[in-house]
Amino acid sequence: MSQRIAFVASHTEEAQAARALLASRYGDVPLDEAGVIVALGGDGFMLRTLHRHMPRALPVYGMKLGTVGFLMNQHHLADLPERLQRAQPTVLRPLLMEVVTESGGASSALAFNEVSLLRQTKQAAHVQVLLNGVAKIEELICDGILVATPAGSTAYNLSAFGPILPLGSRMLALTPISPFRPRRWRGAILPAVTEVRFEILDPYKRPVSATADSHEVRDVVEVCIRESTNETMTLLFDPEHNLEERILNEQFEQ
């Protein structure tokens, strides 16, 4: 791996100070000359880094300097070139979200963690759930519903009582958020090649928003989600702190 490092950091004082120290010790090249990006911050900053620098297709090595660091390595000043040399790659394939709004507009966005639908008002959302064009739930009454990748299965999906997915499983978690009807449905695990479509029933009385990671679209009437076929990003992890092991360990947290 090239050791031409470009450092990026969140706006916190701690992350900016760490960037200055690391850059003074190891150098800091422009992004268009870099062989690797080192991101300093939390998981939210890592997601923004993945989205912002996806066209460059550079591997990203994160250091935890934020509240949550599931996608990050531990922050240490010493031995960064050696850590990068030993780092294990994890390839992430995002979800592609395509939405149609009640005004007739159409847009798309990518999500490395999840695509989530949420009610916009006090009234519950009414959603039809279709898999590969076949209606599986004619009317889901809920606060929302989400589709999570394995990397995102320990985030919002886990908070909504969805399953944790092994990183290499090529599966997706389909998880309702506070479902009311069907009363006993708690979600499903789907092959990654599945096309998931949500159609919003009564969108004017019961408006719904759709969010791909942090990109939100309001007043949607239809949302189509599928795994991207031509976009990937590579995260780098210390061998003793790899993402797959952490996802496995999450399943045994008390």
CATH 3.40.50.10330, the chain: domain bounds: 5-92+232-250
Give the residue carrying structure tokens 């990397």.
Answer: 151
Respond yes or no: is residue 43 known to be catalytic.
yes
> What is the per-residue DSSP string for 50-93?
HHHTGGGT--EEEEE-SS--TT-BPP-STTHHHHHHHPEEEEE-
> What is the per-residue DSSP string for 192-223?
TT--EEEEEESTTTS-EEEEETTEEE-SEEEE
pLDDT digits 0-9 by tens, 210-233: 999 989 999 999 999 999 988 999
Out of 28, 32, 43, 79, the active site residue is 43
CATH 2.60.200.30, the chain: domain bounds: 95-227
Q: 10 Å Cβ neighbour count for 229? A: 9
Q: pLDDT confidence of 69, banded at 50, 70, 90?
A: confident
Quick one: tokens of 206?
């019961």
Q: What is the chain's mean pLDDT, rounded?
A: 93
* Distance, C-alpha 56 to centroid of its chain: 19
Q: How far apart are CA 104 and CA 25, in angstroms?
A: 53
Quick one: tokens of 34?
């870099």
Residue 169 pLDDT: 86
Sheet with 134-142, strands from edge to edge, namely 106-111, 95-101, 220-227, 196-201, 125-131, 134-142
Residue 1 pLDDT: 55
**pTM metric for this prediction:** 0.87
Q: How far apart are CA 216 and CA 147, in angstroms?
A: 15
Fold of the domain built from segment(s) 95-227: Tumour Suppressor Smad4 (2.60.200)
Q: Tell me the CATH number for domain 5-92+232-250.
A: 3.40.50.10330
Contact call for residues 153 and 173 (beta carbons, < 8 A): yes
**Mean predicted confidence (pLDDT) in 107-113:** 96
Residue 167 pLDDT: 79
